[in-house]
Amino acid sequence: MTPSRNTLGWMYEKMVASRHFEELIEKIYMEGKTPVFNMANGPIPGEMHLSNGQEPVAVGVCAHLTPDDIVTATHRPHHQAIAKGVDLKKMAAEIFGKATGLSGGRGGHMHIFDAEVNFACSGIIAQGMGPAAGAALSRKLQGKPGVAVSFIGEGAANQGAFHETLNLAAVWKLPMIVVVEDNAWGISVAKEASTAIQCNADRAAAYGIPGHYIPGNDPLKIYEVAGEAIARARRGEGPTLIEVETYRLAGHFMGDAEGYRPDGEKDALFAKDPIPNLRRLLVSDHGFTEAELDEIEDKARAEIEEAIAFARQSPDPKPEDALTAVFA
Amino acid sequence: MTPSRNTLGWMYEKMVASRHFEELIEKIYMEGKTPVFNMANGPIPGEMHLSNGQEPVAVGVCAHLTPDDIVTATHRPHHQAIAKGVDLKKMAAEIFGKATGLSGGRGGHMHIFDAEVNFACSGIIAQGMGPAAGAALSRKLQGKPGVAVSFIGEGAANQGAFHETLNLAAVWKLPMIVVVEDNAWGISVAKEASTAIQCNADRAAAYGIPGHYIPGNDPLKIYEVAGEAIARARRGEGPTLIEVETYRLAGHFMGDAEGYRPDGEKDALFAKDPIPNLRRLLVSDHGFTEAELDEIEDKARAEIEEAIAFARQSPDPKPEDALTAVFA
Amino acid sequence: MDNERKLTIARAMAEATAQEMRIDPRVFVMGEDIADLGGVFGNTRGLAEEFGKERVRDTPISETGFIGAAVGAAQDGMRPVVELMFVDFFGVCFDAIYNLMAKNTYFSGGKFNVPMVLMTSTGGGYSDAGQHSQCLYGSFAHLPGMKVVSPSNAYDAKGLMTAAIRDPNPVIYMYHKGLQGMGWLGTEKGAIVHVPEEPYEVEIGKARIAREGRDVTIVSIAQGVHHGLKAARILQDQGISAEVVDLRSLVPLDRDTIRASVAKTGRLIVVDEDYHSFGVSGEIIATVTETNLADLKAPPRRIAYPDVPIPFARVMEQYCLPNADKIVAAARELCGAVIPA
Amino acid sequence: MDNERKLTIARAMAEATAQEMRIDPRVFVMGEDIADLGGVFGNTRGLAEEFGKERVRDTPISETGFIGAAVGAAQDGMRPVVELMFVDFFGVCFDAIYNLMAKNTYFSGGKFNVPMVLMTSTGGGYSDAGQHSQCLYGSFAHLPGMKVVSPSNAYDAKGLMTAAIRDPNPVIYMYHKGLQGMGWLGTEKGAIVHVPEEPYEVEIGKARIAREGRDVTIVSIAQGVHHGLKAARILQDQGISAEVVDLRSLVPLDRDTIRASVAKTGRLIVVDEDYHSFGVSGEIIATVTETNLADLKAPPRRIAYPDVPIPFARVMEQYCLPNADKIVAAARELCGAVIPA
Ligand SMILES: Cc1ncc(C[n+]2csc(CCOP(=O)(O)OP(=O)(O)O)c2C)c(N)n1
Ligand SMILES: Cc1ncc(C[n+]2csc(CCOP(=O)(O)OP(=O)(O)O)c2C)c(N)n1
Ligand SMILES: [Mg+2]
Ligand SMILES: [Mg+2]
């Protein structure tokens, strides 16, 4: 399955948008946090987990999804949210903790929820999986279309919820895909120090479902494999487990000194940055012109900048609104 | 690996003892519970999960263990406790809730703890696994011999703890064995309704460790496979996952009407009762005489009856001792 | 009326669920042994037969998985009724409950809601030991974002279940095993009461005066209400008039009803089968003293489960449990009555 | 003395652990990111370097697995010090904590004991939102079988850690992120105090009078103690003398010290960053009113976290958190002082 020209352009656009989003967030996050880095300060306080380098997974999978499909994400959700079509302005505003944010500032960066496009998060490792299975079950019970995709990190594949949910989805043949973003690290702990086997895709055997490992952080390959899995799920044939090699170009969170990385690892990863890679490929193999791609980039960046500007300008929530929206 | 004649006799003895224990418990449990069955009444109140039919797993595995090795068991622990060498009198007294019981009546049937032989339980599904891994880790850290065996049911293999613990044990190469007693049912839910694959032993692939399925509720085959796994663990080569087909000849707990069983299942199981089977085999293939086996049986039964008599005669705990032993 | 239809709590719960399932296709039920077996405690009996095993589904022993799934289904527009067989098992799945179910409405600023019911059995008294006998009322009530109810009788059981299923929010529905009306768990007769056939709601967050009185207020929930009522009958013979408040809900907590009662009686006894410290009993006492200090004629008292794991041995467990005698003794003390030898 | 050695809580915890590891080979440490990284919150810094990665081991993200393992290791004679990175994650592993760790001593009639320390970070104030900012003091303190401590300063941090490691029982050691002395979480200067080099214990279960006073008692733990001390300084200027009680332990709870203080002042404010209802604040108020009703000159008050999930937005979170101003206002009210406009 090769993406159409349109889809290729969309993928590139969303990757650029996602990266630009992270770059701006990164810069703004540091405002008010120098010379002394204190998370509580600045226009964007709290923890910040950037997704730089992991864009291929998000676009390769979400290219197959409609707003009606379900995605659950993690503590590192921006790239997936952007690829899923979460409202950019409201999302940016949420990350700034503004009244105009998706949840009026209650959730913040680790709790991006957009009911319009069925996007939800949990900051607790692997705990988005259960809800994804449940949404898939909901569609099955209602006889309504829709697949649910749960994105997790490779570190999350050692959490009990991973096992329970995959077994449940398999027994009930739910239209669900679990996508493991293998960026080689769970904070400072390397995959091989935490995971008994090399490749989590092999764990599909424990549930009698298909499992695929995709090396190379390659958006087109991801597109292909995810497309087949999602089509399979839509046909009612049950869940698939996909693991994707990807690169965490940033620290685990902002402020991470990354002392645990072997020498040279970061440089090697930057040399494999998937965005320039895809750009080259689009020109060499898919007939895109440089001008066209520049235009796509400009558009992507402009949209992001608009969203960030919206967030900046938006008002703070009323403090006492903290007490509302606990119950429906 | 074939058991020695001595071991064969031991296995038979412990199987008979275990069965006789359950038969007596079953009878006494009903005292005070007729004509109206109320769990709270009688000399043995509370839930009661019998192990009739599952004796082969216990003896086949525990034949390889010393008192110094560790076993963690479940809500259905009697057969394992007996095979592990838990003090029979104190165990019986514990099940009666007596002052002379293993924990002075605080634990009861689902919480059989005997520090003398490193035996512990949890009534929460699969939650004995973590402690077994930890005991294995303890031996590894101390450079002391000892393996830890965690017995669980096939239903427990869908619990998150199963996954987390096996991964942990595999990453750390712990001297640990997980033995899944596949009695086909988790209360009223059949294995195929709860488990995405036929055989939990295949889940070993998710941890890069050996996995073995043993059909037929066959104590000799269990002895062989467990022996290899335990020897491997003692050599420092890491954990093994073993699943054993076994038969639950009783209800899930006393009072279970077993309406969920297909017609004829119980009869078919009784026809395969492992105790008469082993007896026949010992005579036909291993040169035991009927008289010898009668003697073994008598000895086993006598010991059980003594234990039960001890329990019966023992005094109740002091009510206010409920408030003690919370902390060391 | 003697020829009125009386139900057990188990049947009342099942009836409410069935009635909602008939009118609302979004309602479905899942949990361990809730289909063929009808629930270990009988509260889903008959549902699988009527609605089939798609809508009434047995689950693997994977509480994190299926309670998490209920959250996702609820967010997707369904109305799951899900069972955690014993409340004691909450430790294997609490994240799905308190970090997802209870918070996703808030995290989404109200854009998602999570209309689900989590049924779970509570309580001891039948020697099921320390991992199968707890109430844990306080553990659930302490954490924001979920309603918490527990009926003391079948009328409330049905009405609370109907209200819980219809509620757009997550509701923890705790049913006490000793009140279920399953013979094998013993039967508290007072829990088996008249239940109308037609659907009705009992408002979540409203306490009920189970018995009026003047001298002392006994506040409790579920099984404790029956201990309170028993004590009140004994006290009446001894010339002490006890009011019994059945909380029915812990979240929201009907603080007004509690306070009004103590404002009248001037004396408070909290009866709580959950652990003594850092739980329900402390909260009720604080609730009263914060606003009604001047009304108190005597220090408030609590008859709660001591801070120890629940022992198996009958004599030990019974020693620890609240009961009418303990309440009577406390009430007499509070009222300055002579304690008979 | 200005030239005395001052440490952060993070360093004090690491020092205590290292000292115990040197003298006791049974002590080992495990948790996520505690080896190479030295703990996200710095409390295991230097341990892997000194003791190697066998004794200081990074774990997979498998809290049920490795906390369960700690229980088994403790029962087998080791003394694990294990970390749950944020207390908010307790929902994925609480069974191992409260059904195993906390109960196995009891279940075994004292034949096994479970000498382990579970370290976990608590608290908000830096906009980490609803799954990374909770205190959950009440959730742990409510359940029997585990001790629960939380230091407000580095001296206590070291002494409590030493005591916890040496204790034959399981101890939950809660450290408040805002007090850790990690610059990136802000730094409460009052937490950085003199810490002797040699090992010492601070007795678990003993509260400390952090400041003496006559008019009102402020009871708190961890971060709340500093709010209390700040408030006390402000109140002093306004002619109100506040006593500040630093609980240090929730289990065992030093009820005597609390009661003695209120017996003296007649007024009680509980400051609790955990959720308002069914938790610590209710328990403290009940503790006092049960025995010292007559001493109370005014109704007890609590400044606690409201019963809502913790919001991300700074203005919202700060609105909800306890702080010195709220305490000052409450104290003035209790003391009948004029509230300045
Ligand atoms: C249950 C739980 N344990 C621990 C954490 C703390 N934590 C946050 S992110 C993280 C690492 C996750 O690694 P991975 O799943 O590979 O995702 P990545 O950060 O690489 O995207 C950890 C341990 C958590 N949020 N939840
Ligand atoms: C976490 C948890 N969930 C549910 C239960 C209730 N329960 C007790 S035994 C049982 C079935 C267990 O099945 P299996 O593991 O196959 O063991 P068996 O009873 O067949 O020996 C269940 C669901 C429990 N004790 N713990
Ligand atoms: Mg990762
Ligand atoms: Mg089974």
Q: Does any CB of chain D come closer than 8 Å to the CB of residue B100?
A: no
* Residue pLDDT, tens place only, A27-78: 999 999 989 999 999 999 999 999 999 999 999 999 999 999 999 999 999 9
Domain boundary among C194, C229, C244: C194
- pLDDT recorded at residue D251: 98
> Could A167 and B196 be called an inter-chain contact, meaning their C-beta atoms sit closer than 8 Å?
yes
Q: Is residue C241 part of a domain?
A: yes
Tokens of C60: 């693997």
Tens of pLDDT, residue by residue, chain D (341 residues): 557 899 999 999 999 999 999 999 999 999 999 999 999 999 999 999 999 999 999 999 999 999 999 999 999 999 999 999 999 999 999 999 999 999 999 999 999 999 999 999 999 999 999 999 999 999 999 999 999 999 999 999 999 999 999 999 999 999 999 999 998 888 899 999 999 999 999 999 999 999 999 999 999 999 999 999 999 999 999 999 999 999 999 999 999 999 999 999 999 999 999 999 999 999 999 999 999 999 999 999 999 999 999 999 999 999 999 999 999 999 999 998 765 55
User: By 3-state DSSP, what share of chain B in percent is helix, strand and coil, each rounded to 5?
Assistant: 50, 10, 40
Q: Does any CB of chain C come closer than 8 Å to the CB of residue B159?
A: yes
Identify whether residues D102 and D213 lie together within a single domain. no
Q: Are B112 and B65 in contact (CB under 8 A)?
A: no
Q: Is residue C201 part of a domain?
A: no
Task: Give the Cα separation of C183 and C180 in Å (integer).
Answer: 8
Q: Is residue C154 part of a domain?
A: yes
Q: Are C131 and B110 in contact (CB under 8 A)?
A: yes
What's the gap in Å between the CA of D194 and the closest CA on chain C?
33
- pLDDT recorded at residue C187: 82
Q: Are A69 and A33 in contact (CB under 8 A)?
A: no
Structural domain harbouring C292: 208-335
Q: Is residue A267 part of a domain?
A: yes
Identify whether residues C25 and C106 lie together within a single domain. yes
10 Å Cβ neighbour count for B263? 6
Q: Is residue A328 part of a domain?
A: no
Q: Is residue C202 part of a domain?
A: no
Burial class (CB in 10 A: 0-12, 13-18, 19+), D294: exposed
Confidence of residue A219 (pLDDT cuts 50, 70, 90): very high
Q: Are C29 and C17 in contact (CB under 8 A)?
A: yes
The tokens 């406790």 sit on which residue? Answer: B81
Q: Does any CB of chain C come closer than 8 Å to the CB of residue D281?
A: yes
**Dist. CA D11 → ligand 3 center (Å):** 28
Tens of pLDDT, residue by residue, chain B (328 residues): 789 999 999 999 999 999 999 999 999 999 999 899 999 999 999 999 999 999 999 999 999 999 999 999 999 999 999 999 999 999 999 999 999 999 999 999 999 999 999 999 999 999 999 999 999 999 999 999 999 999 999 999 999 999 999 999 999 999 999 999 999 999 999 999 999 999 999 999 999 999 999 999 999 999 999 999 999 999 999 999 999 999 999 999 999 999 999 999 999 999 999 999 999 999 999 999 999 999 999 999 999 999 999 999 999 999 999 999 999 9
Find the CATH number of the domain harbouring D317.
Answer: 3.40.50.920
- pLDDT recorded at residue A1: 77
- pLDDT recorded at residue C337: 74
Q: Is residue C203 part of a domain?
A: no
Identify whether residues C330 and C294 lie together within a single domain. yes
Atom index in ligand 2 nearest the CA of residue B127 equals: 1
3-state secondary structure of B201: helix
Contact list, C65 vs chain B (CB under 8 Å): 158, 160
Structural domain harbouring B257: 5-323
Show which residues of D are catalytic. Answer: 63, 132
Identify whether residues C215 and C151 lie together within a single domain. no
∠ CA A264-A267-A272, nearest 5°, is 130
Residue B137 backbone phi and psi in degrees, to 5: -60, -40
Q: Searching chain B, which residue's CA lies closest to the CA of residue D110?
A: B325
Confidence of residue C1 (pLDDT cuts 50, 70, 90): low
Nearest CA among A323, A160, A290, A313 for reference residue D68? A160
Task: Give the Cα separation of C167 and C114 in Å (integer).
Answer: 9
Q: Is residue A298 part of a domain?
A: yes
Q: Are B199 and B214 in contact (CB under 8 A)?
A: no
For residue C325, give Cα distances in angstroms to A139, C220, C232, C233, C300. Answer: 54, 15, 10, 11, 17
pTM of the model: 0.98
- pLDDT recorded at residue D107: 98
Domain boundary among D194, D223, D239: D194
**Dist. CA A70 → ligand 1 center (Å):** 22
Nearest CA among C63, D100, D92, C60 for reference residue B123? D100
Q: Which residues contact C151 (CB under 8 A, 6 or more apart)?
A: C9, C157, C160, C175, C179, C202, C222, C248
Q: Is residue B328 part of a domain?
A: no
How far does CA A237 lie from the centroid of its chain?
25
Identify whether residues C110 and C224 lie together within a single domain. no
3-state secondary structure of D82: strand
User: ipTM strictly over 0.95?
Assistant: yes
10 Å Cβ neighbour count for C340? 8
Identify whether residues C219 and C291 lie together within a single domain. yes
Which residue type sits at C267? R
Q: What is the DSSP letter of D100?
A: I
Nearest CA among A105, A91, A115, A110 for reference residue A308? A91
**Which residues on adjacent β-strands are paired with residue B150?**
B72, B178
Helices C154-166 and C9-23 cross at an angle (nearest 10°) of 30
Task: Give the Cα separation of C46 and C29 in Å (integer).
Answer: 12
- Ligand 1 neighbours (beta carbon < 6 A): A 75-76, 123-125, 152-156, 183, 185-187, 248, 252; D 32, 61, 63, 85, 89, 92
Identify whether residues C248 and C133 lie together within a single domain. no
Number of domains in chain D: 2
Find the CATH number of the domain harbouring C122.
Answer: 3.40.50.970
Atom index in ligand 2 nearest the CA of residue B153 equals: 15
Q: Is residue A216 part of a domain?
A: yes
Q: Is residue D84 part of a domain?
A: yes
End-to-end CA distance of chain C: 40
Q: Are A64 and A230 in contact (CB under 8 A)?
A: yes
Q: Is residue B239 part of a domain?
A: yes
Identify whether residues C267 and C308 lie together within a single domain. yes
Q: Is residue D199 part of a domain?
A: no
Task: Give the Cα separation of A149 and A71 in Å (integer).
Answer: 5
**Dist. CA B182 → ligand 4 center (Å):** 5
Task: Give the Cα separation of D252 and A163 in Å (integer).
Answer: 38
Which protein residues have their CB within 5 A of the ion that is ligand 3? A 153-155, 183, 185-186
Residue A99 has pLDDT above 80, yes or no: yes
**Dist. CA D12 → ligand 1 center (Å):** 26
Find the CATH number of the domain harbouring B288.
Answer: 3.40.50.970
Number of domains in chain A: 1
- For chain C, the three-class secondary structure string (H helix, E strand, C coil) is CCCCCEECHHHHHHHHHHHHHHHCCCEEEEECCCCCCCCCCCCCCCHHHHHHHHHEEECCCCHHHHHHHHHHHHHCCCEEEEEEEEHHHHHHCHHHHHHHHCCHHHHCCCCCCCCCEEEEEECCCCCCCCCCCCCCHHHHHCCCCCEEECCCCHHHHHHHHHHHHHCCCCEEEEEEHHHCCCHHHCCCHHHCEECCCCCCCCCCCCCEEEECCCCEEEEECCHHHHHHHHHHHHHHHCCCCEEEEECCEEECCCHHHHHHHHHHHCCEEEEEEEECCCCHHHHHHHHHHHHHHHHCCCCCEEEEECCCCCCCCHHHHHHHCCCHHHHHHHHHHHCCCCCCC
Q: Is residue C151 part of a domain?
A: yes
Q: Does any CB of chain B come closer than 8 Å to the CB of residue A166?
A: yes
Q: Which residues contact D307 (CB under 8 A, 6 or more apart)?
A: A326, C144, C251, D275, D276, D277
Q: CA A26, A31, A36, A41 torsion: positive or negative?
A: negative
The tokens 């595995």 sit on which residue? Answer: B61
Identify whether residues D148 and D230 lie together within a single domain. no
Identify whether residues D10 and D131 lie together within a single domain. yes
Give the count of Cβ contacts less than 8 A between chain A and C: 157
> Could B189 and C60 be called an inter-chain contact, meaning their C-beta atoms sit closer than 8 Å?
yes
Q: Does any CB of chain C come closer than 8 Å to the CB of residue B187?
A: yes
Task: Give the Cα separation of C262 and C244 in Å (integer).
Answer: 11
Which residue type sits at D154? A
Domain boundary among C164, C194, C224: C194
